[in-house]
A and B are shown apart, each in its own frame.
Chain A
Amino acid sequence: MKKLRTILLGITTAVMLGMGASQAATPANTFVMAKDIADIITMDPAEVFELTTGEIIANIYDRVMMFEPEDLQTLVGGVAESWEVGNGGKTITFKIRSGLKFHSGNPVRAEDVAWSLQRVVKLNKTPAFIITQFGWTADNVDGLVKALDDRRFSVTITEEFSPGLVLNALSAGVASVVDKELVMSHEKDGDLGYDWLKSNSAGSGAFSLKTWKANEIVTLDANAGYRHGAPGMQRVILRHVAEPSSQRLLLEKADIDMARNLTPDQVKGVRGNSEIAIDGYPKGTIVYMAANAGHPVLGKTEVVQAIRHLVNYEAMANSFLAGQFVVHQAFWPAGLWGALETTPYKQDVARARSLLKAAGHGDGFELTIHTLTNSPFPEIAQAVQADLAKGGIKANIVTLEGKTLWPKYRAREHDIILARWSPDYVDPHSNADAFAHNPDNRLEAKLTGVLAWRNAWADDSSNMLAVKARNELDLGKRKEQYLELQTMLQKTGPFVIMFQQNEQVARRNNLRGFVSGSNFDLVFYRNVKKQ
């Protein structure tokens, strides 16, 4: 008994010694954010397509073209200092900036840039389509993307694409410039350094990757020799905190500088705290419903139009979505070049009922809404369910994890899908190609990356306009064509586009300079400073 008491006393003392050992605030030269980083599966820019790594590589690598945090609306050269369009718009010759260096100390050469693009095409991972759409294949890319000398390289496209679109696509993550010499020194069995680059970095951006421990932490170190000058923080830490409530507590205790995944309730909860500020960033993510055109009822234009009139968008945006989503009804997000910002639909039950009657479904019908399990999708689905009931439509809701939902969607096994979509790069063609362009609607065509195909919907006029806008050389005309295409899809087609995300970020008041742009990979840490 005496021994037991001694042991218990020992444990208690040890515990007491440990208490309060946590620091009160983050170090002045370190930016610590809490985020759910479980989506990270690779750090290789040729493969990165997840939200978290999208923003991480934006801070590690300079791209051929870039949107900089100082002006997110203007496309400027990244490693490219200047460029010239020739050969009837099919060849662009770039000159790269002088004096650029990779983190390794190697100079950034035109050869590195050309090789980085060639590597993406040859590895052919998911995001490769962003540049392979220009007609580049593993067989021809060496001839079409090539270094001319140390500072000049050219890209030639084989398709009739607008040069503006090519330049925009070269601002995507796949256009990150990697250090050829360093990567190739880690090559194994002709893998172009793929295995090594999954968990290492070889860039010339504002930060380099120090550590990545899956489901735990990502640490970035500042590149003091960055072309825009040394970043404000010497180190950036992304700490994996999956639970939003825990993120909130950490922020309130100043153990982190920023919480990235607070729920609307938690945002509301910290608003009164004078040491915490909430920033809103309009993002490119849109929330939409898509009706399977192969469905005998949902394939009718009037029925989808009726659904558009049944949904009460404002009620949702003003209640449970407060602050985190705003009403948006076109496929290209508001705030971006070429976006249609009109919101013609409001709940109009009488009109919806007359449309249903005209389609021969005045007595209503039954359907299933498949959606994701994570908030706010189940909540939106329930609100839509109630709205559709007003038109006599009985909607059943099935919530599934993404990994279970996507196979159903890609196999056209749904009635209605309620999901999200983000642009792959900052050009309207990115979404037009998914929503409005389905060149082959046959099941065996398996254009599974195309939303229109997934919904078994193809329309000649929509296809033609999408291609016309894609190829248009005149910027003004191109914009008009995209506006027309969005207007067209607001009235026809299988999509009911509902909301656009507004990312809410909670930060400590002493932190400034964090920038989150419209696209998932336009998040910048280099201007972050602490007062």
Chain B
Amino acid sequence: MRASTDQAAVGSGLTPPSTLVKIIGVLFSLALTFLGLTAITFVISRVMPVDPVLAIVGDRASNEVYQQVYLQLGLDKPVYVQYLKYLGQLAQGDLGSSIMTTRPVIEDIKRFFPATLELATVATLLGIFVGVPMGVFAAVHQGRWPDHIVRVVALLGYSAPIFWLGLVALLVFYAKLGWVAGPGRLDVYYDGIIDPVTGILLIDAALVRDWEIFRNALSHLVLPASILGTFALAYIARMTRSFMLDQLSQEYILTARVKGIPESRVIWGHAFRNVLVQLITIIGLTYASLLEGSVLTETVFSWPGIGQYITNSLFNNDMNAVLGGTIVVGVCFVGINMLSDLLYRLVDPRIR
């Protein structure tokens, strides 16, 4: 495969780009992506009919106080000057300070993002470990009752309003059955007992071997992660089923079966390996979208994540916070894309 590609390149008179050129290309495209991202967000913030000054001074402020803050924020300058000033600060790693929390945005992100990372990671893992086998199972039993059940479950998970699902889950598993802890990341009595290292409570508690806090954090995480995981699970199961059906109808599968290869190997060793590249794309996108923060889940479960942070900031036109959050989301998407590219090469020799 590689030989033919090389021959094609030689034949066309082109030489493959060097690693350095590739890296420069990637960096250039990254810079362009972030420039576009910040520019669009900045312009949106300026056309929104929300007054950032009022977010700080309140609606009762006198005109004198209003003007004072208006000038402090530099809103008297043209938009492009404001944008260039922001880019200048950004280049020095300064995301500015948030109006709503009064802290540097970078500090806020360090606090809010790990909460979302923890939630999204567990939810995605749930989606992978339950959704993928479900999808494979449904594809193998296409048209029979296991397939119907999986399809209904996937449809429900995909279409049920997450807000409603969250409240019902809280009512049943927290309020009625008492199996799990309620809203929040920890019971309030444990707050501040361990110093954050990663900001991911399960890891921080494990690092200091405080298993009581670990259990409590886990108990709080189970429900929101499951709810968010239901969405991930439904999507991954549906797509896995579809990809698998496509592969199972291929001639090489028929050949493998005719050769008498055990069915489990045909499914997992042949068909499933061929859907991995597509699955990685789906899982990557799902994970990235969960990392944006699920505002509704975060609201119902009082989960102090990046989704709530960005949404609250947006409502208050806290643009430093919105831009900071947007950059984090952008980094997540780009990072996951790059990771997906890397994984493609691992699972599919044709891409190497």
Contacts and interface: CB of A to CB of B under 8 A. Distances in A.
Contact of B183 (A26, A214, A246): A246
A121 to B, nearest CB: 12
B218 A18 contact: yes
B296 to A, nearest CB: 9
Contacts of B189: 23, 26-27, 30
B191 A217 contact: yes
Given A41-B100, A126-B61, A404-B50, A213 B111 contact: yes
B57 A124 contact: no
A253 B175 contact: yes
B60 A249 contact: no
Given A215-B312, A239-B184, A246-B170, A18 B302 contact: no
Interface string A198-217: 11000000000001011111
B51 A21 contact: no
A242 B103 CA distance: 21
A143 to B, nearest CB: 21
Interface in A212-228: 213-217, 219
Contacts of B58: 49-50, 126
Interface string B303-324: 0100011001001110000000
Given A240-B302, A448-B63, A255 B50 contact: no
A213 B304 contact: yes
A129 B315 contact: no
B129 A249 contact: no
A407 B54 contact: yes
A199 B60 contact: no
Interface string B165-180: 0010011001100111
Interface string A326-339: 00000000000000
Given A50-B58, A407-B54, A215 B304 contact: yes
B188 A406 contact: no
Interface stretch (A3-11, A84-92, A150-158, A290-298): A3-11
Interface in A37-56: 38, 41-42, 49-50
A403 B316 contact: yes
A446 B63 contact: yes
A361 interface: no
B260 interface: no
A474 interface: no
A4 B54 contact: no
A246 B182 contact: yes
Nearest to A210: B192
B62 interface: yes
B66 interface: yes
Interface in B34-63: 49-51, 54-63
Given A18-B218, A217-B191, A255-B187, A198 B102 contact: yes
Question: Which of A1, A4, A214, A255 has the most chain B CB atoms inside 10 A of its CB?
Answer: A214
Contact of A23 (B175, B187, B217, B304): B187
A241 interface: yes
Contacts of B316: 403
Contact of A199 (B103, B129, B309, B317): B103
Contacts of A406: 51, 54, 59
A264 to B, nearest CB: 18
B194 to A, nearest CB: 14
B65 A126 contact: yes
B114 interface: no
Nearest to A248: B175
A211 B268 CA distance: 52
A4 B183 contact: no
Question: Which of A8, A14, A211, A246 has the most chain B CB atoms inside 10 A of its CB?
Answer: A246
B59 A249 contact: no
B180 A402 contact: no
B133 interface: yes
Question: Which of A216, A242, A245 has the most chain B CB atoms inside 10 A of its CB?
Answer: A216
B232 interface: no
Given A215-B308, A401-B315, A18 B222 contact: yes
Given A211-B192, A253-B174, A20 B179 contact: yes
Interface of B: 49-51, 54-66, 68, 98-103, 108, 111, 129, 133, 167, 170-171, 174-175, 178-184, 187-189, 191-192, 212, 215-222, 264, 268, 299-302, 304, 308-309, 312, 315-317
Given A49-B58, A126-B60, A243-B167, 5 more contacts: A20-B219, A49-B60, A124-B65, A215-B101, A249-B182
List 5 tightest A-B contacts by C-beta distance, closest first.
Answer: A18-B218, A22-B181, A214-B101, A406-B59, A18-B219
12 contacts: A17-B215, A26-B188, A213-B304, A214-B102, A217-B191, A243-B167, A243-B302, A246-B300, A249-B175, A403-B55, A403-B316, A446-B63
